Amino acid sequence: MTSFLISGIVCALGLSSSVTAVAYGDSVQKSATEKQFSQEFPEGYSFLKHIGGNGPYSERRSYGISRDPPDSCAVDQVIMIKRHGERYPLASTGESIETSLAKLYGAGVTEWKGDLAFLDEWKYYVSNKCWYEAETYSGPYAGLLDAYHHGATYRDRYGDLWNGDVTPFFSSGYSRVINTARKFGEGFFGYNYSTDAALNIISESETLGANSLTPVCYNDNDTDTCDNLPTTMPVFKVAAARLNAQNSGLKLNETDIYNLMTMASFELNNRAFSDWINVFTQDEWVAFGYLGDLSYYYCAGPGDKNMAAVGAVYVNATLSLLNEGPEKAGPLIFNFAHDTDITPIVAALGILIPSEDLPLDRIPFGNPYSIGDIVPMGGHLTIERLSCNATAMSEKGTYVRLVLNEAVVPFNKCQSGPGYSCSLDDYTSILKEELPDYLTTCKVPKSYPQYLDFWWNANTTTDLNYQQGPIGCQEGYTMS
């Protein structure tokens, strides 16, 4: 409706002569010459969906369910967990990238040709090894910008829920995660951030057991597939042969292609444009993206049979928040952690589980476990509690919806509420029944906290709202 009206206004201003608009009262009707809907879905392709979890945020491809709740409902509580924003590669990834770059530059090529012609000008975006691990701050896809933008967008969407109370929000104790939380907070709370938001930092130490945003499985006995995943794909050999043929002396192999594609996938995180992306074909990117799906699925998702138990910690605790409701538990519960803390939660919720384990020898096209739609950089899972009036199909009451990267994902076993939501009662009883037990599955030491309760013991002091002093070289774990 919005775009419809805007093009009507453009016409009225005389900016378009090919379309004539006629206003009937409030509505605007276009001439029959322009289609209301484009019939094109250009190969259903975006680079941003085929880079594993490495590159810029993009919204989840929606099933078409409206992002806004239906007219009969209003959101009264929001519980979110967000991955840190766009970042530089990890230091370990950086080592592999630098190995293949050294091979490229050491090949004795004096003038780059073909797909690599841009290399005469190009420079690696990590000019200082201290950048590895850090959130990016430069360019249109910068991580800090993502977080601020997300906060401001959520202010617009959920700002009415803020009751003026000092609002605790929660970050795991890792530098880039904390910086994401702070920028989100500045976006959401605006001028009131310094006094009305209170950052709580929850250590990532394993000794926190279940009282953590980053719980681990102490006895993970299902890592065989994860430990032996493929690291290249057949089409990478084609890419290597193409580049080697264009530049004599070059001897790249499929491992180098994987490393260089990895490097390319991170480039947009701090630059507006990447020539490297165009070095590889769409089909090669599709293969690269699937390696990412495999890694998350088998190492941090439902392909590791213990991961749902890890995610159950958060899901179980959110059931308490939802059942206490906004009056008791607060209307806004914002949390910040890592990709591999969110994928276990998605597994525990029982959504996006493929009907069979992902194959290692071919790409199962149409697979629901497409990581670009689950945890891109800045990816987030938002649980909305809805207060709904009766409709012709549903009773007045409290309902729940899962929103992943801004697209509604119906709960598999219960979607009969308004907007394909589930009644809070059914949602709660289904999950109470089905959630695996973290303590026994993961053999949590008895001396560690046995359940999550930091949401109920939050501090309202604002001392941690801002970074004090410089961020260290490759800074990771921190409590400030």
Ligand X SMILES: *[C@@H]1O[C@H](CO)[C@@H](O)[C@H](O)[C@H]1NC(C)=O
User: Which residues are near ligand X by CB under 6 A?
Assistant: 72-74, 103, 164, 191-192, 200, 210, 221-222, 253-256, 305, 313, 316-317, 320, 389, 437-439, 451, 454, 457-459
- From the list 415, 347, 420, 422, the residue with the least C-alpha distance to 385 is 422
Which residue pairs, CB below 8 angstroms and at least 24 apart, start in 159-164?
159/188, 161/75, 161/76, 161/77, 161/78, 161/326, 161/331, 161/332, 162/189, 162/331, 162/332, 163/331, 164/196
Q: Which is nearer to ligand X, 30 or 103 (CB)?
A: 103
Residue type, 134: A
Q: Which is nearer to ligand X, 11 or 442 (CB)?
A: 442
User: Is 339 a catalytic site residue?
Assistant: yes
Q: Which of 84, 150, 338, 380 is catalytic?
A: 84
Q: Which of 146, 339, 341, 373 is catalytic?
A: 339
Minimum Å gap between C-beta 414 and ligand X is 20
Q: Which is nearer to ligand X, 57 or 288 (CB)?
A: 288
Answer whether 470's CB lies under 8 Å from 167's CB.
no
Minimum Å gap between C-beta 125 and ligand X is 22
The crossing angle, in degrees rounded to 10, of helices 143-158 and 175-189 is 40
Minimum Å gap between C-beta 157 and ligand X is 15
Q: Which is nearer to ligand X, 115 or 196 (CB)?
A: 196
- Where is 146: in which H helix or E strand? helix 143-158
442 burial class (0-12, 13-18, 19+ CB within 10 angstroms)? buried
Q: Which is nearer to ligand X, 136 or 335 (CB)?
A: 335
β-bridge partners, 202: 172
Minimum Å gap between C-beta 468 and ligand X is 15
Q: Which is nearer to ligand X, 279 or 431 (CB)?
A: 431
Phi-psi label, residue 469: left if phi above 0, alpha if psi -120 to 50, beta otherwise: left
- Where is 77: in which H helix or E strand? strand 73-83
Minimum Å gap between C-beta 54 and ligand X is 21
Minimum Å gap between C-beta 415 and ligand X is 19
Q: What's the per-residue H, E or C state across 401-416?
A: EEEECCEECCCCCCCC
Strands (E), 264-353: 332-337
Catalytic site residues?
A: 84, 339
